[in-house]
Structures are given as C-alpha cells and as structure tokens.
Structure 1
Amino acid sequence: MSDTTHLLIPYAASASEGCQQALQDLALPHLDRLLARLSPLPALSDNGEDTSFSTPHERALARDLGLPAQDGRIPWAAWYRHQQGLAADGQAWAFFTPCQWQVTTDHVTLRDPETLGLDEAASRALLAIVSPWFAEDGITLHYDQPTRWLAGGALFAQLATASLERVLLRDVRAWMPDARAEPAARTLHRLHSEMQMLLYTHAFNDERTAHGLPVVNSFWVHGAGLLPEALPPAASKAVTPTHPTTLRDAALRDDWRAWRAAWTALDAGPVADLLRQAEAGTAVQLTLCGERNALAFHSAPRTLTQRIQGFFKPSRFMDLRNQL
C-alpha cells in the first residue's frame, strides 16, 4: 500500500469511564462519512488486551513499516538509528528514559518524564554519572534528547519491554520484564535497584531539590530489539503513515475534555482531508487504534449490503468504539 494515503489515529477510543463520557453525543461527521465509503481490512491486532507491552498503534505502525511486530519486541530504537542513517553494526538497541518513580505503600508510579524539567545540560550531566554503571553490563548509553537516550548492548536483543505510554502514570510493577522467564530481565531489575541507590543521595538530586525540581531516581527501557540483518523491501521503502498525537497526549493525561476537543479538530482537519481524497478516487487507508485493538479500513468496492448498512448507520464510529 505504498501509494496509499494512510491516516493512523492512536487512542481513537478507550474503555475508561472518562472516555466513554467524552464520547457521549460526540459528532464526527467526516469520520462517519469516510467509514461509510471504506471497506474493512483483516483485523490487525493479535492481542486484544490493554495489558500487552506494545500498544495497538505501535503494532499497526510496525506492520506498515515492515518491522517485526512481536509484542514488546518492536525494535523502535534500532529503527530510529536506521532512519538517522547510523549503521546498525549488528547490535541491539533500546530507548532509555530517565524518570522519577513515585513510591508509596501500594504503588510505584512512573511520573511523566516531561515534568522533570531536564534540559540538555542536566541530561548530559546525569548521563555521565550513570554511564559507568551500565558499561559494567555491556550497555553503552548515548545522548539523544533530554528525556530519551539510546542504549546499545546484547541485553536488548530478545528483551521484551513495555512501551513508555503503557506505564506512564501507572504502577510500573505490572509492566516490568519478567525476571523469572528472561535472564536479561534479571539484569535490568538489578540495574533499577542500583540506580535508585546511586541517585537517592547523589549531589545531582540534592542540587535539583535545592532548586525546587523533581528528583530523577530511575529509568525506563523501551523500544528494545534488533533489526533484521536484511530489512524487508516494505521497511526500506516505507513511508510513515500520518499519525497525529493529539488524542494520545490528552488520553495519557486523562484529560478527556481535551481529548474530545482533539477529536473534533481531527475530524475537521486530517479526517476531512482523507475523505476528500477518497471521494476524488485516491486510494486511502484509515487505521483506528484504541488501547486493545486496531481496526483498519481502505478504499475498495463495497458490497450492496455494506452500502445499505452504511446508509442506515450514520454514526458508524460509535458502533466500532467498543472494539478498540
């Protein structure tokens, strides 16, 4: 589908009570008209659970790019390096996000790394502090962004890791790699403990506290994996689908009023544009993703039954939302 205009929408719906309330009386006229024109593709999700390590939109995007899509093992960091023109060198890579774990008696919550106020200078200073500890386990850390580094090492070749989106503002214990099943996970658990002990009384955090900034006491590894030795043609020629993040950003903050407003804006913007292209005869694809599943639709002749159903079901999206 390389010649197809593809719009992939993460967090199009959620089973949460806040989202269900936000969906009440939500008018998405362009989306309903578009869905009435398109035909469904085979189901994309192979999990259907909101406990999977990889989100449905990550799995859908990986398949579209021709990347391995096994749960928790989509090599996003290695793909990122490939896209930057950096040699793979046969090494496994992962994203490494410095963060704060907020520990209470019954929860260990990962706070949003963007609230740390890390700038490049502070991030590089922290990187210099922790790098030697990881080097002892064959892990090299490289600066990329203030709240995201790159980590290279054999540890990440087969390690299943949960997306940062899955664990954000949630209890991390449900999303840690299984130390009983994976030796690499035991190493990662140990490194988590060592980092917490190292940073608990470190001058780096003392200075942050003195300036009213949140402490950094942990990290999250995600997007781990190894690119295939020979990327399939789909990956080398792939054009990333348009995937707006406004719904995702609002959903991760549990801001369902903003999520509702974002849907209205998407319907009037990218969705309306896709509808105009479909009406003009351009091949289009629409992928709607929730926290459990992804549903995809494309330009294709519709049966008489499908056309009749589309006519009598003007609110097609409301029929689909519980499947996401």
Structure 2
Amino acid sequence: MNQLDILIPFALPPAELARDLLRQCQAPALAMLLGRGRAAAPAQEHDPFSRALPHEHWLAQRFGLPRGGADSSPAVAAALMRGLGHAPQAGRWFVLHPAHIHVARDHLVLTDIGQLALDEAQSRRLFASAAPLFTEIGHELVYGDARTWFLRADAWDGLRTSTPAAASGRNIDIWMPEGPGELAWRKLQNEVQMQWFSEALNEEREMQGLKAVNSIWIWGGADVAAAAQSPYAASFGLDGWARAFGPAASAAAAQVIGGSGHRLLLLDQLSELALAEEWGLWLQRMEELDREWFSPLLESLRSGGVDAVNLLLSGADRLAGIAVTRGALRKFWRQPSLSKLSA
C-alpha cells in the first residue's frame, strides 16, 4: 500500500487564537483533506508542562527510541550522534546546543535555537573555547554540527532534561535539568557562560544584528547500550527526527508524494513561527504549505498516486490524527473545513 504519514508540528494553533486564525486562513486543499478525512484516533491531550512537546513524544515512539525516563526529554542523543556520523562506543550521552538566554522582567527566557543563525565557523570557535572546561572535569565533548554538540556524562544517568522547543519562550526555571548531576551541570553551564561573555565573536554578532550565543542547553540523555538495541532506523530512518530540531533541505513535493511504500514526511515549517508567536507569519506559511504540499497531495490522492494519507497535527499540548483515503474524497456531503485544527 502506498501510504504517506505527514507530521505537521504546530498545525494546531492555541485554542484562544484558533477561531480568528482559521477564519483568515486560505488553505483549500488542506480544508478538503480535513473535511473528507476521519479522525484516526481520539485527540490526545498532553501535559503543558511536559519536558517534550507532543510531536517530539510521537517521533520518539515512532522511531522506537528508548524511553528517556519519567518526566524527561526523549533519549535521542545516541541516535542523533550516529545520524551525524559519530559512533559512540559506550556511556551516557547528551545533546548540547549553543543557545541564547535573555532576561525578561523577572526571569530568564530561552530563545528558540532555530533563531540563532549560528554558522559552522562561529560554532567551531565557540566549541574550541568551551572544550577545555569540559575536559578539565573529565567530560568528553564532541562536535556534531553548527548547532548540535554532544556531551558524555556517565554519572548523570537519571538527569531529567527538557527539549529546547518545550522550553523556548518560557521562564527556564521549571525547565532546567533536575536529578543526578544537576548541580554539576549548572556549574558547568555557568562557567561556559562566563567564558563566552568575553568572546569577541559575540561582539561581532551583535554588530551584525544577531543574538549573542551566551549559554548552552542540554537534553536527550541516552545510554549507548540501550540505544544500540533500538530499531528507530529500520522503517523511516533518522532524518525526520533530526529535522524536528533543525533545518534540512526538503525534497521536492513531487519526489516525496510520488514515492512508494509506507513513508514519513515531516513538515516543520510552522515550528519556528509558532514558538516566536508570529501568528501572522504562521498564517502565510500555512498557506504556502497548502500550495506547495497539500494541493499536489490532494491531486495525487484523486489520481491514485497515493492510496492513503495520515495527517498528524500537533500543537503545544495536543496531537490529532486525520486519515484520508481516495474513497473518502468522494464523500461530497462532507464539506471542506479547517475546523479540525481547532478541535
């Protein structure tokens, strides 16, 4: 069966904004798919204070990643390392992101890491500056790419962490790591912040209108031995998960839709705008998705190029699934509607 699962983070806007946004949204192809489709399962409500967002939990489950522990981010570090060409042999590894934390009225706020615009040369300068601080206390630090590094800390097994997307735009106090290694991490994070405070690189960035890289964020702790047993790459590979946390070149719609078998597509173009609460731009991006993806997808369903589509729609605290088949498109009595985005 030629089936396409499409995960669309932040397609479900906040309840208090949904009616107004959807009244303005011009997305006829998506409205047709949603109107003719049926709920694949009851919508799932998620704890708004969970340390990972609904689509991140879904990805972890879909890829068969080992559980990150109760109230912690998904155990993705070892899988992401392999996806970036590293082969960790042992130990407990965490994902690290260079980050920007700014001061609000009475608390600190993590900026969405997607807005940092950190290039390879800048990231390597910061990595070289911070690495001795990790080496001095016996922790291995590995460079992944411009926005993703890795830390080995075997003694921190059980440290509860939050994904950067879950914490973005919020008071970071309740999203900071807790558990084994908590105090050691805070000390290390503070030392890195002090080291980077005097970096000429940050002065250069600020002169260019860019945010200073003034902190690091940790999450995704995973034991290599447990991760080695995970079948996360067997069916869908790792690309979808990696793209959930960073930009990647997207294949053309015709190439993806025209494939065969059971496939997964992640359309994460709404994430950065939703995290920044740029809802006007969110509307524009949704309409772009309708033209570039949902319209050709609808035509492919009608022509039989695709047999079935499962739309997996998430928000900050909800996840809903809509199943659409070629036969469902013939149910003309079901009117096109975006109302399922506010359900």
TM over 0.5: yes
SS at match of 2:52: coil
Query: Matched residues in 2 for 1:224 and 1:89: separation?
Result: 15
SS at match of 1:42: strand
Aligned 8 A contact 1:156 1:225 in 2 = no
Q: For structure 1, which runs of at least 5 residues remain unmatched after alignment?
A: none
Output aligned runs, 1:298-309, within 5 Å.
Answer: 298=323
Identify the structure with the greater strand proportion: 2
Query: Residue type of the partner of 1:161?
Result: T
Query: Matched residues in 2 for 1:300 and 1:115: separation?
Result: 37
1:149 aligns with 2:149: yes
Q: For structure 2, which runs of at least 5 residues remain unmatched after alignment?
A: 241-263
- CA deviation map 1:120-166 (0-9, x unaligned): 33322221222122234443222233333222332564333222122
The residue aligned with 1:290 is: 315
- CA deviation map 1:48-105 (0-9, x unaligned): 1222111111112222222235553313332122234532313332221222322355
Alignment CA distance shift 1:146-1:283 (3 Å): same
Query: Residue type of the partner of 1:10?
Result: P
Aligned 8 A contact 1:9 1:244 in 2 = yes
Tell me by how many angstroms 1:222 deviates: 2.6
Tell me by how many angstroms 1:229 deviates: 4.7
SS at match of 2:333: helix
TM-score (norm 2): 0.76
Aligned 8 A contact 2:33 2:298 in 1 = yes
The residue aligned with 2:279 is: 256
Query: Matched residues in 1 for 2:93 and 2:24: separation?
Result: 45
Query: Matched residues in 1 for 2:63 and 2:30: separation?
Result: 25
Aligned 8 A contact 1:208 1:214 in 2 = no
Alignment CA distance shift 1:156-1:268 (3 Å): farther
SS at match of 2:162: coil
Query: Matched residues in 2 for 1:210 and 1:250: separation?
Result: 22
Aligned 8 A contact 1:251 1:259 in 2 = yes
Aligned 8 A contact 2:66 2:227 in 1 = no
Aligned 8 A contact 1:95 1:149 in 2 = yes
Tell me by how many angstroms 1:107 deviates: 1.6
The residue aligned with 2:245 is: none
Tell me by how many angstroms 1:220 deviates: 1.0
Percent identity, aligned pairs only, is 28
Residue in structure 1 matching 2:60, options 59, 62, 78: 62
Aligned 8 A contact 1:41 1:297 in 2 = yes
SS at match of 1:242: strand
Query: Matched residues in 2 for 1:291 and 1:39: separation?
Result: 22
